[in-house]
Amino acid sequence: MPNDFLAVEGASVSFGKAQARVCALRDVCLAFQPGTLSLVMGPSGSGKTTLLSLLGCLLSPDDGSVFVDGVAVNRLSEAERTVVRQKKISFIFQAFRLFHSLSALDNVALGLEIRDPAASRRREMARDLLLQLDLGDKLHQEPNALSPGEKQRVAIARALAGNPPILLADEPTASLDAEAGRNICQILRGQVDEQGRTVIVVSHDPRWERFADRTITLCDGRVEEEVAVP
Ligand SMILES: Nc1ncnc2c1ncn2[C@@H]1O[C@H](COP(=O)(O)OP(=O)(O)OP(=O)(O)O)[C@@H](O)[C@H]1O
Ligand SMILES: [Mg+2]
């Protein structure tokens, strides 16, 4: 497993103590390669968001290991793990999580600031990312003036700031209509095919299946099924 680009090996995660203890993931083994899109499904409470948090170095497992680019990140210090996360991993959420008082451009520039404090061309780079996502005419709009699909594209532009190889998306199309949802599926698929990124999408949305290389189904914290999409 250490040779896999991104992997969890025998990972278990629980929350709470004693009688309130909830086992969110149990002995999960999964590996993810560059240039693939994995779709994670499963009922509410099955551990999908916990899995993304683990892969995204936001959580450490109680047991088992998490490997990012061959490094067992659970053996690193919190500070070292934060560096790995900032360099290699971005998140995309259902609720977009944009800063409402900042323009689209400044939201993306902020993503660059967090990742690359030395960048003198930050606003120019942010503009290029927004142009790539077809938001050239929305650079100076604040999120409240954008449609849900446009907000998600700004969030994706921000996630792409700093060029992270790993994108983790939790229900990225759940707040979007059919057309905007399909557009987001196509954009993330493009990041896999054109940039070789490793994309993991948690979604109940069946539209994702035809954009995925495989589906992983979680049930009660375990991997119930792992199927390659033909
Ligand atoms: N911070 C937390 N504190 C306590 N329990 C938690 C915490 N996060 C998750 N859990 C519990 O862990 C289990 C898995 O939760 P998780 O959020 O990973 O599920 P999910 O598959 O993402 O569900 P959903 O589809 O509703 O988003 C659930 O029983 C949940 O209540
Ligand atoms: Mg969840």
- Model's pTM, two decimal places? 0.95
Task: Find out whether the beta carbon of 107 lies less than 6 Å from any atom of ligand 1.
Answer: no
For the chain, the domains span 36-49+76-228
Task: Find out whether the beta carbon of 34 lies less than 6 Å from any atom of ligand 1.
Answer: no
How much is the mean pLDDT over the chain? 94
Choose the weakest-confidence range: 9-18, 111-120, 152-161. Answer: 111-120
For 19-67, the pLDDT digits (tens) are 899 999 999 999 999 999 999 999 999 999 999 999 999 999 999 999 9
Residue 40 buriedness (CB in 10 A; 0-12 / 13-18 / 19+): buried
Report which protein residue has its CA nearest ligand 1's atom 25: 44
Give the list of residues 6+ apart from residue 113 with CB closer than 8 angstroms, or none. 119, 122
- Residue 105 and residue 99: Cα distance in Å, rounded? 11
Report which protein residue has its CA nearest ligand 1's atom 31: 45
Per CATH, domain 36-49+76-228 is 3.40.50.300? yes
- Residue 183 and residue 168: Cα distance in Å, rounded? 17
For 73-95, the pLDDT digits (tens) are 999 999 999 999 999 999 999 99
